[in-house]
A and B are shown apart, each in its own frame.
Chain A
Amino acid sequence: MSFTVFATAIVSAMLINNVILMQFLGVCPFLGVSKRTSSAIGMSAAVLFVMVVASAVTYTIYDLILFPYDIPYISTIAFILVIASLVQLVEMVIKKYSAPLYKALGIYLPLITTNCAILGVSEGNIASIWTETMPYGEGLFLAVSTAIGTGLGFGLVIFAFSSIRERLDAANVPKSWQGVPISLLVAGIMSLAFLGLQGVI
């Protein structure tokens, strides 16, 4: 559990295997809530928060319940249910204890259940980190680090993209490219830039 492991996991998940531009997870909110910078920030904060909690919980469930009792094939059903109820729980807790945070994140939380980035990271953690011999603590640490990196990468890209889109509103785009097509083209060019980071680590 050293700082190097943590930093490597963060950089790798945030920049090199960026969740939106390289893995294509969470494209719906990427196109949906990136019209204004403020909503992009709110959404990415909510995603980061839920992603870290969901990764920790799903990794724990897989390692301590599903695998020992020999039912790992049920992981998809278990994970989606856990994530759905977790989002509800987080919403209730935030509502009760922190009104400003609820005001900032509230409307984005229900959308997160169907955000494929959350389930994708949970499943990806099991596929890439989890092994039979990995000690529970170390695996959990890696899973949470990856989740933090992925959430930060999601926030970085969606924030940059929303800034570009605010400029695009004022630009004179041909009629047939207006809306989603030009957004996808912008995303493609951003993705090209991120492709240059491949192989840094």
Chain B
Amino acid sequence: MSTKDNFLKGFVKENPIFVFLLGMCPALAVTATVETALGMGILVVFVLTSSNIVVSLVRKFIPNDVRTPSYIVIIATFVTIVRMMTERYAPDLYIALGVFIPLIVVNCLILGRAEAFASKNTVFDSMIDGLGMSLGFTMALVIIGVFRELLATGEILYGVYLPFFVESEIAIFDLDWLIPLSGASVNDYMLPMFSLAPGAFIALGIILAVIQRRKVVGDEKKEAARQAMIEEKKRLALERKKAAAKKKAGEAA
């Protein structure tokens, strides 16, 4: 597998959330706003990339029997580091994510990559794999976050939890331009349920159904093409038979 494929596979083909359903707890819990989703994604990028590098470095020294506990300790160490960094540099994000920062330790995605990839591959490949997978994870989180925040509030804010690049909170996208057109407040049409717990389940359900729909349509097309090919073959066989029969009849005459 080339380095490029190794990096890109986490985005679509092997997306951790949308395809493998790994790390569902953060996917539901921290996606009420785009910013918390992005914050969680950044933490996972750091933890997964570093833990993949370290696991790959020590893969030849760790006895097979104590493999999993050793990986868990490595991951927990990096989680503790990001926990302290977040508390220091983004205290609002630290409060918003709460118990889900220490819970990165038991995120199946990270232990899964350590077991399935980093314990068998070179340091560089493991690093690329970790980067790709965690960025794919971040992308999925942000997609769910955009969906939920837009439906719940009609705007996407930046700067509430992540204090980087901006002085105060700004709206990246909003629907205020609709007010003069409709004469009503946008808030009248929003669904605050999507920022609460039920909205998380329903939003993820809808997104997964859309993805599955694409697969179903693709399968149906493939099936239709296969059927058409079978029909075509049958027709050709029949024609050949007819031609043979005609030839025979001609010979007989």
A residues apposed to B, CB below 8 Å = 21-28, 31, 73-77, 79-81, 84, 113-116, 119-120, 123-124, 127, 175-185, 187-189, 191-192, 194-195
- The answer for the CA separation of A178 and B212 in the assembled complex, in Å, is 9
* Cβ-defined contact, B198 with A176, below 8 A: no
11 new A-B contacts at CB < 8 Å, known A73-B84, A188-B201, A195-B196:
A21-B197, A74-B80, A77-B76, A115-B106, A124-B99, A176-B209, A184-B204, A188-B200, A191-B200, A191-B201, A195-B198
Going nearest first, the 4 A-B pairs with the smallest beta carbon separation are: A184-B205, A188-B201, A176-B213, A188-B202
Judged by DSSP, the binding face of B is helix
**Looking at chain B, what size class is its interface with the partner chain?**
35 or more
Give the CA-CA distance A17 to B234 in the complex, in Å. Answer: 63
Q: Is B230 an interface residue (CB 8 A)?
A: no
Number of A-B contacts (CB under 8 A): 118
Assembly CA distance A74 to B102 (angstroms): 11
**Is B105 touching A119 in the complex (CB atoms < 8 A)?**
yes
Q: Which B residues lie at the A interface, using CB under 8 A?
A: 21, 24-25, 28-29, 69, 72-73, 76-77, 79-80, 83-84, 98-99, 102-103, 105-108, 111, 193, 196-202, 204-206, 208-210, 212-213, 216
Q: Is A24 a contact partner of B106 (Cβ separation < 8 A)?
A: no
Say how far A189's CB is from chain B's closest CB, in angstroms: 7
User: Is A84 in contact with B202, judged by CB distance below 8 angstroms?
Assistant: no
Given known pairs A80-B106, A114-B106, the reply for A182 and B111 (CB within 8 Å) is no
Are A116's CB and B69's CB within 8 A? no
Bound: A127/B100 CA distance, A: 12
Chain B residues near A182: list those with CB within 8 A: 205, 209
Known: A24-B28, A119-B103. A185 touches B77 (CB 8 A): no
- Quick one: which of B76, B83, B84, B98 has the most chain A CB within 10 A? B76
